Amino acid sequence: MTTPATQPSHADLVARAHALVPVLRERAPRAEELRRIPDETINDLHASGLFRMLQPKRVGGSELSYEAIVELTAIIGRGCGSTAWVLANLANHHWMLALWPRDAQNEIWGQNADALVGSALMFPAGHAERDGHGYRLSGHWKFSSGIDACDWCMLGGIVASAEGEMPEYHVFLVPKSDYKIIDTWHVAGLRGTGSKDVEVKEVFVPAHRALTVEQMKGGVAPGGETAALYRLPVFDMFPYVVAGAALGIAQGAIEVFTEDIRHRITAYSTTLLADYATTQARLGHAAAAIAAAERTLVGNCREVMAMAARHELPARDYKIRLRRDGAYAAHLCTEGVDLLFGAGGGEFLYNQQVIQRCFRDVHAANSHYALAWDIATTMAGKSLLGIAADLPTL
């Protein structure tokens, strides 16, 4: 594992991400076969500094503005959607770790500033009780992306409350020695993410390794970081993390489709597929949808960063809009890939076709709760009607 000697700039990381795209496109079938990211890819991401794009500078990170996670993840996604998905999640956890008390940060980064932290934030899956100066945690969580490469995991759980009091939602930091990885990842899309189950049984978590959901909703967290980057609301920004992967998958599909269709003759005639007006229209429609998604994701991230720089906390309705827009951008990316997949005919059904993998991967991305379009629109509609959204993370 190689730690960058200096903190890479935004331009450095953009160049390094672009350089990895052809390599990752070549490795993508192997990632699917392994059902996790190949070790050499994890090493390349470490060496490039991409994992540490949002990590504080004081521990060797680049501490870029939050839109970088969309931009850089999307570049990587042009080569391999699974790699982009894992990069986005694990890089985002470096950002989240900066919110924890310094004792927790030092426990992890003090030993290894490159240490990767996974997550499984399905809160009802975990149950904890207070136990002296900490908590006793048990649970079984699904969808811990990239967990094989991680030394720690952030696990969501509900802390039992006294009678008559509301239970509290927490996120717990647990070392690899305290959780079990269960290989359940046999799926149609994003096969290379290794999003396996994690199980914990009666594990003690000291208080400094637990953070309440309330402490993650924006403003200065226990970690004490004062930069605008670390005052953003965690759960309202998460759609932009995974939507960046969907954006990259869609952008990669545009690139591959354009190159393929330009030279392909239809199976039952001597006509170039590129000469059909329907092909041209689908490509133009897809490109418009994907470009609009990119502007939405990057523009909203910049807007929220500007608010944080002014020490403004987003209002509840604004947070709902953030979630809606993130999901809509991913929805647009899926629409774009669907248009391209439909334009290619039976040729795109073959496993070796990149567009076929893009089709599966972008639909898998949109199955994530944070990007589920029906859920996002329902919450947005409730807000417009003045109906309170029953969501503890909001």
Q: Side-chain half-sphere of 303: how many Cα atoms within 13 Å?
A: 14
Rounded to an integer, what distance in angstroms lies between the CA atom of residue 185 and that of residue 256?
27
Rounded to an integer, what distance in angstroms lies between the CA atom of residue 195 and that of residue 147?
7
CA 342 to chain centre: 27
Per-residue pLDDT at 34: 98
Rounded to an integer, what distance in angstroms lies between the CA atom of residue 96 and that of residue 347?
43
Per-residue pLDDT at 141: 98
Q: What is the mean pLDDT of each run of 10 residues along the chain (394 residues)?
A: 69 98 98 98 98 97 98 98 98 98 98 98 96 97 98 97 82 98 98 98 98 95 94 98 98 96 83 92 98 98 98 96 98 98 91 95 97 95 92 91
What is the CB neighbour count within 10 angstroms for residue 211?
A: 23
Rounded to an integer, what distance in angstroms lies between the CA atom of residue 299 and that of residue 306?
11
Q: Which two tokens stand for residue 142?
A: 């699904």
Burial, 7: exposed, middle or buried (Cβ in 10 Å; 0-12, 13-18, 19+)?
Answer: middle
Per-residue pLDDT at 330: 98
Instruction: Report the chain's terminal Cα–Cα distance, integer Å.
Output: 37
Q: Which two tokens stand for residue 273?
A: 């597929």
Per-residue burial over 72-103, b if 16 or more Cβ lie within 10 Å, else e, is bbbbbbbbbbbbbbbbbbbbbbbbbbbbbbee
Element (H, E) at 130: strand 126-130
Q: Are 83 and 245 within 8 A, CB to CB?
A: no
Alpha helices in the chain (DSSP H): 10-34, 39-48, 67-77, 81-97, 102-109, 234-263, 277-309, 316-343, 354-365, 373-385
Tell how strand 126-130 and strand 134-144 pair up: antiparallel
What are the distances in angstroms from CA 297 to CA 35, 96, 302?
Answer: 28, 19, 9
Structural domains of the chain, with CATH: 10-109 (1.10.540.10), 117-212 (2.40.110.10), 232-385 (1.20.140.10)
Q: Are 76 and 50 within 8 A, CB to CB?
A: yes
Per-residue pLDDT at 162: 72
The residues pairing with 204 across neighbouring beta strands, listed in sequence order, are 136
DSSP 60: T
User: What's the pTM?
Assistant: 0.96
What are the distances in angstroms from CA 243 to CA 19, 27, 222, 314, 357?
Answer: 22, 22, 28, 20, 17
Contacts of 191 (CB under 8 A, 6+ apart): 31, 32, 35, 82, 185, 360
What are the distances in angstroms from CA 227 to CA 64, 198, 305, 311?
Answer: 11, 33, 10, 10
Residue type, 221: A
Query: Any idea which residue has 């009666």 for tokens?
Result: 202
